[in-house]
Structures are given as C-alpha cells and as structure tokens.
Amino acid sequence: MNNDISKKLYEESVNYLPGGVNSPVRAYKPYPFFATKAKDSKLYDVDGNEYIDYCLGYGPIIFGHANDDIVADSIEQLKLGTDYGVPSEKELLLAKEVVKRVPCAEMVRFTNSGTEATMSAIRLARGVTGRKKIIKFEGAYHGAHDAVLVKSGSGAAGQPDSPGVPEEATRNTILVPYNDVDALKATIEDHKDEIACVIVEPVMGNIGCVPPKDGYLQFMREITEENDIILIFDEVITGFRLSYGGAQEYFGITPDLATFGKIVGGGFPIGAIAGPVELMSQFTPSGKIYQAGTFSGNPMSINGGLSAFKVLDKDAYKQLGNTGDYLRSGIADILDRLDFNYQINGVESMTQVYFTDKEVYDYETAQTSDLEGFLKYFHTLLENGVFVAPSQYECAFLSIKHTKEDIDNTLAAIEVALKNL
Ligand code: PLP
C-alpha cells in the first residue's frame, strides 16, 4: 500500500497544526492517512487507497458517508442560508423528533458539540440542585471541558489529567468505577447532600465498548432518585445508535437529563441536551442558568439531523443489530480457530475486541489489554483496507451502509491481522 502523499502532508502539517491534527486520537504513528472523500461504508485517501470504515468519524456517520438523501437535503439547505441568528421552524421540528424518540425528553436545547452539551447539562444540574459535586465514572469521556477531564477515556485514556486543568476545577468531581454497585452506593452515602448529578455513558464507549452489567443502570436510577440526585445519561455515542430512542429506550431506564451529539446532526457538528420541562426551562432565557452559542441550532446541522432521522427508522436499527451480531460471531469464530482468548465486547452496532483474556467491565479491566498488540492489529487491518479507530480505547461502529461483503472482507482482514501478531 502506497502512502507517500499522506506522509508528505503529515510532515508538513506538524508545522502548522499541533501534532498535525485537530483532535489527538487521530495522530497515530508513524502518520495518519489523509482522507479525500468518503461514500457509504468507505473512506478514500490521497494516495488512492480505499478503506472499509469502522471509525465513522468517531460515531456520527451511522447513515453512511455522503448518504444520498442527506446530501440532497443539505444542498437545498445550503442555498437557503447557513446561519440565521433568529429561530427557524426546523429547530422546532428536530426538537419534536427528539422528544418523540427519547423517553426523558420533553424539551431540547441544541448546542454545537457533545462537549458543550455535557458542560451545560452539568451546570443545569448544579444550578437546579444548588449542589456542587458530580459523580463521573473512571474512563468515561464527556468531552474536553475541565470538570470532566479526570481519568477520562478516548484520546486521554491512560494519561494523567491535563496540565492547565486547575485542581479547583475538578475538586468537585468524584470518580467511581463503572459497573460497581457497592462503590456507587458508598460514594453516594458519603456525600449525598452534596451531589448534584451522576453523569454516565450508559454503554462506555471511550475505553473501547463496555456495556452495563444486568441491573446496574436500574440500581443507578433508583439510588439517584432516592437521593434527589440528577441522573444524566451522556448519550453522545449511544443516542440514536443503540436504538430508535437511544440507550434509555434500549435498556428501559429513563434518566433525568440526556446529552446527545454526533448522529443528531446528520454528519454536521451538533450537540443537544434533553429532559423534562421542569428542568430544561431553567436554561436562559426562560430560566436563569446560562447557556448560549452563536451556531447553536444552525440550519445546516439542524437540517442534517432532520434528514438523518428520516433515514433512521426502526428497520434501520434491526439491520444494524443484525450486522453487529454477524460481525461479532465472525470474530468469535476466528478467535476460536486461532486459539486466542481475547474478549469481544459489543452491543448492537458498537463492538470492540480487547487484547486480554480478562473479562472487561470497567476502566481497570480494560487496562489489562496488550496495547502494542492492538496497534499491530490496527496497522495490519489498515494495510488490508480496514480502518478501525487507532486505539484499544475506542469502539468500532457500524453504519446502515455496511454490507455482508464488507463484513466478510473485514473478517478476512482480521484473520490476517491476528495471525500476524
Ligand atoms: N460524550 C461522549 C460520550 C463522547 O464520546 C464525546 C466525544 O466523543 C463527547 C461527550 C464530546 O463530544 P464532542 O467531541 O462532540 O465535543
């Protein structure tokens, strides 16, 4: 595989962009490939290589790259303007669509990113309860703002907290291991009158893919309710991915607030906070809790979301689940055949293979993985035309455009990559 042009662009980019990229996880060694275009399940690079894409922009592209319906709608919107600075009817329509699908949603505030959504949801929880402390789970990633940048997943996984985050900014963030009922119970008992919210990725997607154990989210719902603590499901990844109504519909647990991003913009930048009127109306201007953004609710992202929801009907989720099962059972067969005792974690269209023989159910167990082995696997997959995110601590995503042929080709590449370890 020839990568000469990517190499040259990267060498020049490091002089102009920190690390040559605009988000850290993209900078794998020796250099990332540079994309020129993407269609359906495929990404294409400057050197003319084609990859079956399981990164999908880190999750949003569930409807497939350059989805024909979304492209057509977006071109029409482009002609109508890209930023109004006043409300438009489509914001109302997208809010109604979110409310229709998501159990906890009665009202929605759109933002420009998942980071903004979780930052504002936490502010709302603190403002409403008058309490300062928040509980987050080890390895959970809720974006790049100070309060949640402690023992964070994704690009920050396994690294110390970032310099520049003052100790004061994280003093009120309490860390708890995921999937551990006793730890959560003890922490809430110790601090119950001080905790504004528990924020959780219902399926952890930033230390690979870690689903909740049976009853864990139910327990979390009960204990937060008993202690008047606001439960926030951070559904930036799981929202409109696990099912039509996200993780809360999938698991049958309704949080107080939910945050979204990625898919909701139909491939354009977006975030959203959703919840009951009683809480959501506390945001400015109807309430006092400040929340704002120049591009919030911008026509391109809102229109993209509306188009995406037309494509993402209930059948789409059935298809995604079946493709996920087919991929996972194919990987399991290969692992069996090659006598590897690695873990396959997954739910619906989210999957990760952990290079460890230990069950992975939280941050600590995820760290038993052989990271160098994973990177070798990643590179062999790449050489064989399959792109997964370049980290053990990310997740492989499926789109509705991934075909049986794509998965069969991917399984063949996985077999080569595992044999090559
Ligand atoms: N929350 C979760 C669960 C995420 O996975 C991410 C990003 O990957 C975020 C929040 C932050 O979203 P954004 O990158 O759009 O700011």
Query: What are the backbone angles phi and psi of residue 377, rounded to the nearest 5°?
Result: -60, -45
- CA 127 to ligand 1 center in whole angstroms: 22
- What span, in angstroms and rounded, lies between the C-alpha atoms of 51 and 54? 9
Are the C-beta atoms of residues 81 and 243 closer than 8 Å to each other? no
pTM of the model: 0.97
Q: Which residue, of 279, 311, 343, is where some domain finishes?
A: 311
CATH, residue 19: 3.90.1150.10
pLDDT at 154: 56
Report CA(205)–ligand 1 centroid distance (Å): 10
Q: Positive or negative, the Cα torsion across 357, 358, 361, 364?
A: negative
291: CATH: 3.40.640.10
Q: What average pLDDT does the structure give for the chain?
A: 96
Asked if 19 contacts 27 with a C-beta cutoff of 8 angstroms, the reply is yes
Residue 356 Cα to ligand 1 midpoint, Å, equals: 26
73 lies in the same domain as 58: no
Q: Which domain holds residue 403?
A: 4-62+314-420
Buried b / exposed e over 134-154, threshold 16 CB at 10 Å, is bbbbbbbbbbbbbbbbbbbbb
Best substitution site from 110, 118, 210, 394 to test ligand 1's pocket, by max atoms within 8 Å of Cβ? 118
User: Both 276 and 162 in a single domain?
Assistant: yes
CA distance 123 to 110: 15
The reply to whether 328 and 221 lie within a common domain is: no
Sequence-distant (6+) residues with CB within 8 A of 296 are 109, 110, 111, 112
Among 10, 58, 141, 250, the active-site one is 141
Verify whether residue 234 is a known catalytic residue: yes
Cα 120 to the chain's mean position, in Å?
17
Q: Is residue 45 domain-shared with residue 149, that is, in the same domain? A: no
pLDDT at 161: 75
Q: Please give the tally of structural domains in the chain.
A: 2
Is 141 in the active site? yes
Query: In sequence order, what E strands does 102-223 have?
Result: 107-111, 133-137, 173-176, 195-200
Residue with the smallest CA separation from ligand 1 atom 1 is 142
Q: How far is the CA of 139 from the centre of ligand 1 (A)?
A: 13
Same domain, yes or no: 86 and 33? no
For the chain, 421 residues long, the average pLDDT of each consecutive 10-residue run is: 97 98 95 98 98 98 98 98 98 98 98 98 98 96 94 56 87 95 97 96 97 98 98 98 98 98 98 98 98 98 98 98 98 97 98 98 97 97 98 97 98 97 93
Give the three-state DSSP class for 106: coil
Residue finishing a domain among 311, 336, 358: 311
- If asked whether residues 88 and 155 sit together in one domain, one would say yes
- pLDDT the model gives residue 157: 44
Residue-by-residue DSSP string for 311-367: H--HHHHHHHHHHHHHHHHHHHHHHHHHT---EEEEETTEEEEESSSS---SHHHHT
User: DSSP code of 211?
Assistant: P
Report d(CA 164, CA 75) in Å as an integer: 41
Residues 324 and 411 in one domain: yes
Phi-psi sector, 266: left (phi>0), alpha (psi -120 to 50), beta? left
Same domain as 161, residue 124: yes
Q: Locate the DSSP E strands across 192-323.
A: 195-200, 230-234, 257-261, 271-275
Looking at 42, 133, 151, 262, which residue is catalytic?
262
Pocket around ligand 1: residues whose beta carbon is below 6 Å from it? 58, 113-115, 118, 141-143, 154, 201, 205-206, 234, 236-237, 261, 271
Q: 245 and 101 in contact (C-beta within 8 Å)?
A: yes
Tokens of 155: 């690009």
Which residue, 252, 287, 311, sits at the end of a domain? 311
Do 150 and 296 sit in the same domain of this protein? Answer: yes
Does residue 419 have an active-site annotation? Answer: no
Q: Residue written as tokens 């809480």?
A: 279
Instruction: Specify whether the CB–CB gap between 305 and 100 falls below 8 A.
Output: no
In the chain, the N- to C-terminal Cα span, in Å, equals 19
Q: Are 177 and 139 in contact (CB under 8 A)?
A: no
48 with 137, same domain?
Answer: no
358 and 213 in one domain?
no
Same domain, residue pair 167 and 178: yes
